[in-house]
Amino acid sequence: MERAEVESNILGGYPKYLEKINYLIELCVSKATDISIINPDWISNNDARFAIYGKYVSTLNATKILLYNTLSFVNQDDWVKKYNDEFAIGGRIDDFVYLKELDTQLRFANYMSFVSEFESSLLIIIRFLKDENKKCAENYTSFITDNLKIITYVDFLRLVRHLRNSIHNNGIHMPTESKYNSDPIKFKGMDFNFQKGERIDLKWIDCFVIYEELIGLTEIIFNEDMISRYELITDIVLE
């Protein structure tokens, strides 16, 4: 990986990514603020429908710090010397492969963290409903589509799962069901062609589009009568 490519990717891309992260953080804070006005008791009682936005913000802020630090490092005039002194392995001078690997790891880790917060919060809701003797699906995707009847997100949820599972396989699409061996999905300007054994191409901008959709879907789910009727759904993780 050449110096020019590193500087183009990081100095050219990271400021835009940080702006998008700030936008998503503000979006979460806005939704949490609205909740705190309507249901102030949810804050002190760790209601899952309020807590999720704080979890989203924590994930985004952690990535923001790491992107900012990487940007600050490459923005130094002598960053190449520092990189060669501190990070070059086996005498591979001016080989910036680890910065490329860092970018991939940050992107994948951020995606997994954000999606995990969405999934785990829904599982908290599902467990609560089951304790209330409500019949609902075991997995969150069936819960959304079958129990809540939110069917417009079917393709989107499949996209989210495919990406998550591919990251578990080091970025390779390895579906557990043969019907997904070949599964092209288009969504909001993104065009993913999932093919078994092939590497996915998940860009930062794709992550941000997905996060914004998940934030919007979170609100839609919590407004469903099956969930909104309850005065309190405690987040057991925060108890």
Run of H or E including 83: helix 79-86
pLDDT truncated to tens, each residue of the chain (239 aa)? 688 888 999 999 999 999 999 999 999 999 999 999 999 999 988 899 999 999 999 999 999 999 999 999 999 999 999 999 998 887 788 888 889 899 999 999 999 999 999 999 999 999 999 999 888 888 899 999 999 999 999 999 999 999 999 999 999 999 989 999 999 999 999 999 999 999 999 999 999 999 999 999 999 999 999 999 999 999 877 65
In SS3 terms, 21-67 reads as HHHHHHHHHHHHHHHHHHCCHHHHCCEHHHHHHHHHHHHHHHHHHHH
Give the predicted TM-score (pTM) of the model. 0.94
Position 1 scores a pLDDT of: 67
Q: In which residue are the tokens 């997994």 written?
A: 112
What sign results for the dihedral spanned by CA atoms 27, 30, 36, 39? negative
Domain that holds residue 173: 3-238
Side chain identity, residue 211:
Y
Q: Which residues contact 223 (CB under 8 A, 6 or more apart)?
A: none
Q: How many domains does the chain have?
A: 1
pLDDT the model gives residue 20: 98
